[in-house]
Amino acid sequence: MRKQIIENIEIPSDVSCEFSDNIFKCRKGSSELLRTVNVPLLSVQIKGKEIILDCAMGKKNDLKVIKSLAAHIKNMFLGLNEKYTYKLQAVNVHFPMTLKVDGSRLMINNFLGEKVPRFAQIRPNVIIEVKGQAITLSSHDKEAVGQTAANIEKATKIKSKDRRVFQDGIYIIEKAGRII
């Protein structure tokens, strides 16, 4: 059954938002976050200190999309207040690996004794700190820091070996304040 779906999101007092050409921008001080909103039948309006997501004739799936978009916008507001931080730990049982930031990617040398280094892509606006075997990622954008952590974990994925014996790799140990 189709019905009108409206979601109202309160904008924090120190954040300014604008929406044009399917791009939603939030700014606080020198930090700015962008999000593309390309959802048919959805209208986005900013009135005063409130964002209104409106779908005139929506179904159950449209409600899911609107609720997800509202959660992403709220994550943007939280990210503008303080940075999201992920902590990763490099574990090596067989061969000591070395980690080095090389421009917009992380270079992983001597992983399982391999002669060719492995690389993990670092998303823009993500600050990476490597101290020995500990890696700290931080950014105002939750999606960028999460995707960078996933890229680093995926770069050290072991294939065709027993994971109980070969436990080498880089693993996420803390996500934005939650210990895993």
Confidence of residue 180 (pLDDT cuts 50, 70, 90): low
Q: Which domains does the chain have, with CATH numbers?
A: 3-81 (3.90.930.12), 84-179 (3.90.930.12)
Q: Where are any strands of DSSP class E within the chain?
A: 3-10, 16-20, 23-28, 31-36, 42-47, 50-58, 84-91, 98-102, 105-109, 118-121, 127-131, 134-139, 169-175, 178-179
pTM: 0.87
Going by pLDDT thresholds of 50, 70 and 90, the confidence category of residue 57 is confident
Residue type, 80: L
Output the pLDDT for position 178: 65
